[in-house]
Amino acid sequence: MKDISIWREKFKITHYFVNPDGQASIQGLSYCLQETAVNHATAGRFGYEDLIRNNQAWVLTRQMIKLYQIPRVSEKIIIESWVDSSTDSISIRDFHILDEKDNILGLARTSWMMLDLSSRKPVRIPSWLREDFPHQTGRIMENLPLDKIPLIRETGKDIIPFRVVYNDLDMNFHVNNIQYLKWVLDDFSYEFRLKYRLASIESNYLSEALYEDSLIRLTEQDTQNKEVFITNIVNIKNSRPILSSRTKWVEKGQIIIH
């Protein structure tokens, strides 16, 4: 039987998945991570089609992506993924982002729970997946934290509400996790983005955003580390936080040594 404990997928950085500077966007890289995870889960018989029979689905709860170098348009990358560990309620999935020579360009760590699509409540992860599916504990090159990210209580700048539209939704009829990343980065100015590039992004997915929800973004700079910003997305109707995200930025052209 083929060993599928470590899953690899190759992608080409197309023009659709780059920023104006020709480098891969975080949305483009996140799409590659998500496709790799989906295909790996399908091969292991715990993917979308397997879970939907029981009216269940995987939901991303926390994520951290760290980028040492950013691939450019037309370059090919390899996404390598595996399950690090699983408990009754949470499964930890890790990733290496590689170039064609297997040099590491970046890392990601994610945590997932199973959701009952009728009750919208978590369900227990099956014992066979926790115990029988091969895990690769501690394999990630650099241990990434999945910390709790602070919430912002208020902000001094003008707040412009925005609404969830149909194209923001995934097959579970809530906002896709990649769309959240776009919303976070949309709160940084044109001038800022011309000078700085994303070094890492952490996200706590706190509750669902659904069709026609009205949302606001709150962003503040860390007082101790000027490279770091916290962004919250909040549901206006009930003041419930949807997402808390922490981004770190470096000047363009700077390579992060690992």
Report the range of poorest mean pLDDT among 120-129, 135-144, 149-158, 236-245.
149-158
The span from the CA of 178 to the CA of 189, in Å, is 20
**Residue-level pLDDT at 180:** 95
Coil vs helix vs strand at 157: coil
Tokens of 188: 């940084």
Percentage of residues in the chain with pLDDT exceeding 70?
96
Does residue 1 have a pLDDT over 60? no
- Provide the pLDDT for residue 153: 77
Contact between 61 and 111 (Cβ < 8 Å): yes
Running DSSP on this structure, what letter comes out for residue 85?
E
Query: Which run of H or E residues covers position 111?
Result: strand 104-116
pLDDT tens for 102-135 read 999 999 999 999 999 999 899 999 998 888 889 9
pLDDT at 225: 93
pLDDT above 80: residue 147: yes
| pLDDT category of residue 32 using cuts at 50, 70 and 90 | very high
Encoding tokens for residue 13? 């950085």
Report d(CA 188, CA 219) in Å as an integer: 9
Q: What is the pLDDT of residues 6-30, one digit of tens each?
A: 999 999 999 999 999 999 999 999 9
Calculate the average pLDDT of the chain. 93
Query: Could you give phi then psi for residue 257, rounded to 5 degrees?
Result: -85, 135
Task: Give the chain's radius of gyration (CA, Å).
Answer: 18
- Domains identified in the chain and CATH numbers: 1-144 (3.10.129.10), 147-258 (3.10.129.10)
Give the pLDDT confidence score for residue 209 in this predicted structure: 94
Cα–Cα distance list, 68 to 96, 103, 127, 200 (Å)? 11, 11, 36, 9
Find the mean pLDDT for residues 37-41: 96
* pLDDT confidence band for 255 (50 / 70 / 90): low
Q: Which band of pLDDT confidence, cut at 50, 70 and 90, is reported for residue 258?
A: low
Question: Nearest 5 degrees, angle CA 39-CA 185-CA 62?
Answer: 45
Instruction: Determine the pLDDT at residue 3.
Output: 86
Contacts for 127 with CB less than 8 Å, ≥ 6 apart: none
**pLDDT value of position 2:** 75
